[in-house]
């Protein structure tokens, strides 16, 4: 069954604005990952946050994880047109090879 649910399903912002996407999941996890998918391309790994971490940064990306609420957020600051893509969260269990992906948030950044 599907683990992650992203919210919103679609988001449209102006270039330079910040974009926030949320992910909720149902069972306990070892880590949560965010991926980007440009139109017609494969998924690209962005960031991984472990269950014992609360916040992680990578360049313009900031990810938070709240295991008590079973939720995570991805913040993209100072967005660019090139950030236009679908963003997926994926959860991994301890010792599990399997990642379970959410349905994704489609982000459009308008120049």
Name beta bridge partners: 106.
10, 86
SS3 82: helix
CA neighbor of 80 nearest in space, from 8, 17, 9: 17
Residue with smaller CB distance to another protein, 15 or 61: 61
Smallest separation, CB 4 to another protein (Å): 10
| Region from 18-26, 35-43, 61-69, 71-79 binding another protein, contact rule CB under 8 A | 35-43
Task: Restricting to residues 72-101, name those near another protein by CB under 8 A.
Answer: 86, 88, 92-101
């Amino acid at each position: 069954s599907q683990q992650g649910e992203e919210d919103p399903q679609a988001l449209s912002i102006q270039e330079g604005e910040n974009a926030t996407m949320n992910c909720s999941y149902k069972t306990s996890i070892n880590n949560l990952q965010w991926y980007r998918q440009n139109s017609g391309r494969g998924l690209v790994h962005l960031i991984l946050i472990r269950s014992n971490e609360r916040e992680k940064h990578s360049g313009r990306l900031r990810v938070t994880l709240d295991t008590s609420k079973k939720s995570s957020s991805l913040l993209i600051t100072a967005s660019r047109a090139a950030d236009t893509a679908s963003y997926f969260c994926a959860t991994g269990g301890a010792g599990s090879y399997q990642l379970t992906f959410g349905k994704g948030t489609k982000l459009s950044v308008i120049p």
